[in-house]
Amino acid sequence: MTAASNPLLADWSGAFGLPPFGAVKPEHFGPAFEAALAAHRAEIDAIAAAKAPPSFANTIEAMERAGQALDKVSNVFFVLAGAHTSDAIEAVERDISPKLARHSNAIYLDAALFRRIDELWRRRTSLGLNPEQARVLERYHIRFARSGAGLDQTAKDRLAAINERLATLGTQFGQNVLADEKSWALILEESDLAGLPDFAKSAAKAAAESRGKPGKYAITLARSSIESFLQFSARRDLREKAFAAWTSRGENGGASDNRALIAEMVALRAERARLLGFASFADYRLDDQMAKTPANARKLLDEVWGRAKARAGQERDALQKMAAEEGGNFALAPHDWRYYAEKVRKARFDLDEAAVKPYLALDNMIAAAFETARRLFGLSFKPVQVPLHHPDARAWEVTNAAGQHVGLFIGDYFSRPSKHSGAWMTSLRDQEKLKGDVRPIILNVCNFTKPAEGEPALLSFEDARTLFHEMGHGLHGLLSNVTYPALAGTAVSSDFVELPSQLYEHWLETPEILQKFARHYKTGEAMPQALLDKVLATRTFNQGFATVEYTASALVDLDLHGLPKPEALDVSAFEKQALARIDMPAEIVMRHRLPHFQHLFSGGGYAAAYYSYMWSEVLDADAFEAFKEAGDHFDPATAKKLRDYIYSAGNLRDPAEAYQAFRGRLPKVDALLKKRGLADAAVGGDA
């Protein structure tokens, strides 16, 4: 296959510079990666071997300009590997993951290259760099040092082997979880649907039809499917069966069991940390985060944990009472929680989730997220017809208040067997100015239940919140306004990256947005004020449960990656012991159990850093208070500071510096406790 015949290596002359998805086939990726890796390696070798003394231009800027072909091929591939995979794509992924790790090792362990960067770092005050250039140099020096560039050759060789093996294991982990999710469905008859509202029945019918089961109903392991079933199904036996499948992904024995992979990954990460001079992987990971140390992260989690358990204990008692009143002669179990929580919520607030969903049509919620961006940042979204990676995906051109092109936004909202679970933001191209005015192409990927043909997709309030969350990440990429690719968009520490996304969720709950966009999908009528008031009144309902399931996952993550030498790890036993140590309520399960905890093990982006969501929530709760203090949820002056110092600034500044530039001070935890309704929860109560 020649470069001319490979669409991945050709110039992309289509609209917005999008890749020609219709022409790309799995067999194109192997040759394309091979050519792109070779080209990048040649560029790096030339930089490292340059005879001219190192300068910012011939070393740092040269590295920033290198690897364009590899970026293009990788971005296309990983969009498909995550959102529309296949056996052929998975085979490529297994093959390319260790090769990409090997390539990265060769760069970051290159002694000659590091000598040039280190010399620049030592002379940094005399180079006449502007603040952004100084930040780029700092990040490169840190990245190389943390990769082991300054170690002896024996240690470098071992680090390279560890990194390559971890890449292979991470790929296999994610593919195993997807395999378990694809292979399971609970096929139901009409008689099995007791308690399910019409929207859930319709979605289950469509899911069955897509699996070749016409006339049946299917519950899948997509979160929007399984959680709706657990929330509404009156069949306790079926809830138990579905919940067991949901929580045992990656732990079923056989080829897709992830426990041995986890044990090996945790041991390798700990070894890598020791080689780099750290006591544990958690110490290594947090050293370059906003939290700085595991102790700082744990302090926040511990402060919330006691309050969350106390509140969850109160919630459990209310659910148990409801079950008893209905004649249930059993102790509340994890597969009962969502079902009875919905009943208690309906009784306490006279609010039925099934009554809310008709007002939260997907298209309306997308429009709501766009309107929020318009009012805050002056952005407009115009639908465009362009070739995309899947027929379900759709695209919008984004322009600013002056009508200038900002970027392209792509939304891919429905679950399918070819898509990994969860929700995420990614990109096909990142913003930068070094190689010209490069505009971003940003994707939001979600897993909402696809409706039956001709029916609208109706979201739960939690689904709508997820949509706003990912839109926040999307805006972080779209609004990026930096020169150097290394600092663009979401290239910030993991305990800061969730600030723009979690902060954006707040605007979903503002009256200005809900009153305009929460409209009945049939009549177009606005959500009645009484119903809207009930929705807002329930914001802190069941927050003990939600906080416990999240915080337990974060604490177990820190415990696991805090082990100095975790050899011969029994993953199931460790998880059980870690939960016993924190006195995990028996009626609640971790939000992500270790065998399917993709944040930690499918690439490892949040390994030892799952605490980041709560760390960022302290920031986002405090940040939204700035708008409340201004007396306007869309206050222009506050929105401008938010854009300038958070959404547009990428990694121009240290995270604490960036937050203080926006808020005038560091955040306080009080706003988080208030947001979750835990401010008055007694610490250490029965749970």
**Which positions are annotated as active-site residues?**
470
Say if residues 59 and 115 touch (Cβ distance below 8 Å): no
Residue 183: how many other CB atoms lie within 10 Å: 12
Phi then psi dihedrals of residue 126, to 5 deg: -105, 5
Q: Which of 195, 185, 551, 519 is nearest to 343 (CA)?
A: 195
- 506 DSSP 8-state letter: G
Residues making up the chain, counted from first to last:
687
Strands of the sheet containing 405-414, edge to edge, are: 380-384, 394-399, 405-414, 441-448, 424-429
Q: Which of 211, 644, 220 is nearest to 447 (CA)?
A: 220
Phi then psi dihedrals of residue 409, to 5 deg: -115, 130
Q: How far is CA 246 from CA 249, 250, 415, 554, in A?
A: 6, 10, 15, 19
CA pair distance 293, 285, nearest whole angstrom: 9
CA pair distance 58, 116, nearest whole angstrom: 10
Say if residues 440 and 431 touch (Cβ distance below 8 Å): yes
Say if residues 677 and 539 touch (Cβ distance below 8 Å): yes
Q: How far is CA 172 from CA 76, 98, 102, in A?
A: 20, 11, 17
Q: Which residues pair with 408 in a beta bridge?
A: 397, 441
Amino acid identity of residue 96, one-letter, is I
Say if residues 397 and 382 touch (Cβ distance below 8 Å): yes
Task: Give the per-residue SS3 of 200-239.
Answer: HHHHHHHHHHHCCCCCCEEECCCHHHHHHHHHHCCCHHHH
The three-point CA angle 416-418-422 to 5° equals 65
CA pair distance 501, 444, nearest whole angstrom: 12
Say if residues 139 and 487 touch (Cβ distance below 8 Å): yes
CA pair distance 144, 656, nearest whole angstrom: 23
Say if residues 59 and 120 touch (Cβ distance below 8 Å): yes
Q: Which of 508, 507, 504 is nearest to 616 (CA)?
A: 504
Half-sphere exposure of 421 (CA within 13 A, CB side): 23
Phi then psi dihedrals of residue 91, to 5 deg: -65, -40
Strands 405-414 and 441-448: parallel
Phi then psi dihedrals of residue 650, to 5 deg: 50, -130
Q: How far is CA 266 from CA 144, 294, 550, in A?
A: 22, 16, 21
